[in-house]
């Protein structure tokens, strides 16, 4: 039986009384358990408190070379995973970034307000240029301006950001204030939204660094779409240390990371975990962690599989989301064009 996605008319009256929040993820690979626990689960809660817009940021993804077929597939994969994780298209506006051309239209105007030095100071540009030395393109340089356009085109009040994006949000705030100063108040100056602190999930192979979807060692990362056997295998091969007891100690990063995963997936406290595995070794502990993750991700993966099996319904949901987003974006862009001095089309 094909999966269907519930679609309801937008609740305009309710939306006007709530602050606007915007966030998105790049479709550069499958989403990880770290992204699910660190961001997606928070979004699910936020959508009921805020006027929420969630997009798949495919335009940002091409600052690094992508295979076209994979990019198309992963864009739909990420959108389906949003819904499987609990993002409700009847409550939130869910869309693909490239389906709303107003993002790039506003980006050009903001580009002309941005100083060269402002972009050249961006730490992420320096880092990514070093990582992709064979493709240091202008899009990578102006990435933060497109991000600013993503935010300002909806007059978002709040933007969930991690440390790596704080500098970009500060540029967004500067550009909003600059446009407002030169042309009259138009944009909301967004504030960073600091979500409730979730446990950081580290690499299974290098537990001193954060789990990453771009890690070349696939054994280091648990993806949301991993099979049960793949999850068990990755946990079984996870790096620990030469000790034997299951005790939380940040100096023992591998064991601490597995305990964090077990805590997230079972709801048990560190003390309860230590008591449960007192006198047992790593083999028994890893087996339990693997089974807990399998049970935790199973329902989401099943829902995801159902959604991806009915691509027409998924595309229809994204189309409706893009139409709703464009209706909002057009109103803002129309004001911006008029104030900038463009002749009305």
Q: For 8-29, give one letter per residue: b (16+ CB within 10 A) or e.
A: eebeeeeeeeeebbbbbbbbbb
Topology of the domain covering 12-198+310-340: Rossmann fold (3.40.50)
The single residue listed with the structure tokens 């602050």 is: 19
Q: Is 61 left (phi over 0), alpha (psi -120 to 50) or beta?
A: alpha
By three-state DSSP, how is residue 153 classified? Answer: coil
Q: Can you give the pLDDT at residue 121? A: 83
CATH of domain 218-302: 1.10.240.10
Burial degree of 125 (CB within 10 A; 0-12, 13-18, 19+): buried
Please give the Cα distance from 296 to 282 (Å, whole number).
21
- Rg of the chain over all Cα atoms, to the nearest angstrom: 22
Per-residue pLDDT of the chain (345 residues; tens, 9 = 90+): 344 454 444 433 344 589 999 999 999 999 999 999 988 999 999 999 999 999 999 999 998 889 999 999 999 999 999 999 999 999 999 999 999 999 999 999 999 999 988 887 887 766 666 666 677 788 888 999 999 999 999 999 999 877 667 888 999 999 999 999 999 999 999 999 876 656 689 999 999 999 999 899 989 999 999 999 999 999 999 999 888 889 998 889 999 999 999 999 999 999 999 999 998 999 999 999 999 999 999 999 999 999 999 999 999 999 999 999 999 999 999 999 999 999 988
Q: Decide if 58 contacts 97 (C-beta within 8 A).
A: yes
By three-state DSSP, how is residue 179 classified? Answer: helix
Q: Can you give the pLDDT at residue 185? A: 96
Q: Can you give the pLDDT at residue 139? A: 83
Give the CA angle between residues 118, 123, 129 to the nearest 5°: 105
Range(s) within the chain of domains with CATH label 1.10.240.10: 218-302
Predicted TM-score of the model (pTM): 0.89
Number of Cβ within a 10 Å radius of residue 114: 18
CA-CA-CA-CA torsion sign (194, 199, 204, 206): positive
Range(s) within the chain of domains with CATH label 3.40.50.620: 12-198+310-340
**Among all residues, which ones are annotated catalytic?**
128, 210, 213
The H or E element containing residue 270 is helix 270-276
Q: Decide if 279 contacts 200 (C-beta within 8 A).
A: no
Q: Can you give the pLDDT at residue 196? A: 66
Token pair in block for residue 241: 């240390």
Burial degree of 228 (CB within 10 A; 0-12, 13-18, 19+): middle
């Amino acid at each position: 039986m094909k999966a269907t996605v519930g679609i309801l008319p937008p609740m305009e009256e309710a939306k006007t009384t709530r602050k606007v929040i915007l966030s998105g993820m790049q479709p550069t690979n499958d989403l990880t358990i770290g992204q699910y626990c660190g961001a997606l689960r928070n979004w699910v809660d936020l959508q009921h408190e805020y006027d929420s817009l969630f997009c798949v940021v495919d335009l940002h993804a091409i600052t690094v070379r992508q295979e076209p077929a994979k990019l198309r597939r992963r864009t739909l994969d990420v959108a389906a995973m949003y819904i499987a994780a609990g993002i409700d298209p009847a409550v939130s506006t869910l869309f693909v970034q490239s389906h709303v051309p107003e993002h790039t239209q506003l980006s050009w105007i903001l580009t002309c307000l941005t100083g060269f030095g402002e972009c050249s100071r961006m730490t992420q540009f320096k880092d990514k240029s070093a990582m992709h030395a064979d493709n240091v393109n202008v899009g990578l340089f102006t990435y933060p301006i497109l991000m600013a356009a993503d935010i300002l085109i909806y007059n978002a009040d709040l933007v969930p950001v991690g440390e790596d994006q704080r500098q970009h949000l500060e540029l967004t705030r500067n550009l909003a204030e600059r446009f407002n100063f030169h042309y009259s108040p138009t944009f909301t100056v967004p504030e960073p939204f600091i979500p409730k602190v979730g446990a950081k999930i580290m690499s299974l192979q290098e537990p001193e660094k954060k789990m990453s979807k771009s890690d070349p060692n696939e054994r280091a990362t648990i993806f949301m779409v991993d099979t049960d056997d793949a999850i068990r295998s990755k946990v079984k091969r996870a790096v620990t240390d030469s000790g034997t007891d299951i005790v939380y100690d940040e100096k023992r990063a591998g064991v601490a990371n597995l305990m964090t995963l077990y805590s997230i997936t079972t709801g048990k406290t560190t003390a309860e975990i230590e008591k449960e595995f007192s006198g047992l070794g790593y083999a028994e502990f890893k087996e339990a962690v693997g089974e807990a993750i399998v049970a935790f991700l199973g329902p989401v993966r099943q829902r995801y599989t159902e959604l991806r099996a009915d691509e027409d319904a998924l595309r229809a949901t994204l189309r409706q989301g893009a139409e709703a987003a464009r209706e909002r974006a057009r109103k803002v862009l129309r004001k911006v064009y008029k104030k900038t001095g463009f002749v009305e089309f």
